[in-house]
Amino acid sequence: IKIAAVVPAAGVGSRMQVAHPKQYLKIADKTILEHTLNKLGQLSELDKIVVAVSETDDYFKALPLLDARVTAVNGGKERADSVLNALQALAQDKPDWVLVHDAARPLVSLEDMQTLIAQCVADGEGGILAARVKDTIKRGDTHSLETVPREQLWQALTPQFFPYQALKGALEQALDNAVVITDEASAMEWARHPVKLVSGRSDNIKITTPEDYDLACFLISKQES
């Protein structure tokens, strides 16, 4: 079987409130994007890694070539547009499966990625890494209207792993229909494809705010020691 990876890395990182996109912030001696690509690079089952970068991005070109499988394509307006551009760039390759992983999640464990791939391939259906919600969840605006039962609530992580053609078709159709798509699974759910929930480590955080960055610095120093 042929597996490709797609890394959306074309965001501006507005919630991080720094001058340049957050994926180029350094942790220890490398940028966040390099840490993420190093993790994916450990998966020998990947034959291509397509990174979606912004058209105005001058940082990506300046990175050392990390892995011979890495190529770049232009990102789009939203994350889903960036992912779709990368999927379209893979049309010639016709991978069987695609593994989509946020540039902003350098902490993912190799073991979790391997488990996700193995379980999905074995069952012939797509899935995502996800973590059961641990907190008590409130719904409301300024005051709590209710406490939402958390038994069936999961936090969606990445990687998200789906059959290539099905994901490409679902994303194209969902975007054509102006469906709000915040991850690959939301397009697959909308298109009524199965989305397996594969329990993953909750320290696979998406670095979004300055607090996340501080936590990621600690977690990476722990992983590397």
198 contact choice in ligand CTP, Mg ion, none (CB below 5 to 8 Å, kind-dependent): none
| In the complex, minimum distance from the CB of residue 1 to ligand CTP, in angstroms, rounded to a whole number | 26
Is position 78 an interface residue for ligand CTP (rule: CB under 6 A)? yes
52 contact choice in ligand CTP, Mg ion, none (CB below 5 to 8 Å, kind-dependent): ligand CTP
| In the complex, minimum distance from the CB of residue 188 to ligand CTP, in angstroms, rounded to a whole number | 17
| In the complex, minimum distance from the CB of residue 209 to ligand CTP, in angstroms, rounded to a whole number | 8
Q: Nearer to ligand CTP by C-beta: 121 or 219?
A: 219
| In the complex, minimum distance from the CB of residue 130 to ligand CTP, in angstroms, rounded to a whole number | 16
CB 166 within 8 Å of CB 126: yes
Is position 9 an interface residue for ligand CTP (rule: CB under 6 A)? yes
Interface map 56-75 toward ligand CTP (x if CB under 6 A): -------------------x
Q: Parallel, antiparallel, or unpaired for β 137-140 and 127-132?
A: unpaired
Q: What tokens were used for 225?
A: 């020691």
Q: Nearer to ligand CTP by C-beta: 73 or 195?
A: 73
Beta-bridge partner residues of 51: 7, 72
Q: Return all residues near 52 (Cβ < 8 A) that are at least 6 apart.
A: 6, 7, 8, 9, 10, 72, 73, 74, 75, 76, 82, 83, 85, 86
104 contact choice in ligand CTP, Mg ion, none (CB below 5 to 8 Å, kind-dependent): ligand CTP
Find the binding residues for ligand CTP in span 10-29 (CB under 6 A). Answer: 10-15, 23
Cα R_g (the chain), whole angstroms: 17
Q: Nearer to Mg ion by C-beta: 11 or 95?
A: 11
The secondary structure element, H or E, covering residue 165 is helix 164-176
CB 7 within 8 Å of CB 40: yes
- Alpha-carbon gap, residue 137 to 153, rounded angstroms: 10
Q: Parallel, antiparallel, or unpaired for β 144-148 and 26-27?
A: unpaired
Q: Nearer to ligand CTP by C-beta: 10 or 128?
A: 10
CA 50 from chain centre, in angstroms, equals 12
- Alpha-carbon gap, residue 25 to 167, rounded angstroms: 30
Q: Which residues bind ligand CTP (CB under 6 A)?
A: 8-15, 23, 52, 75-79, 82, 102-104, 206, 208
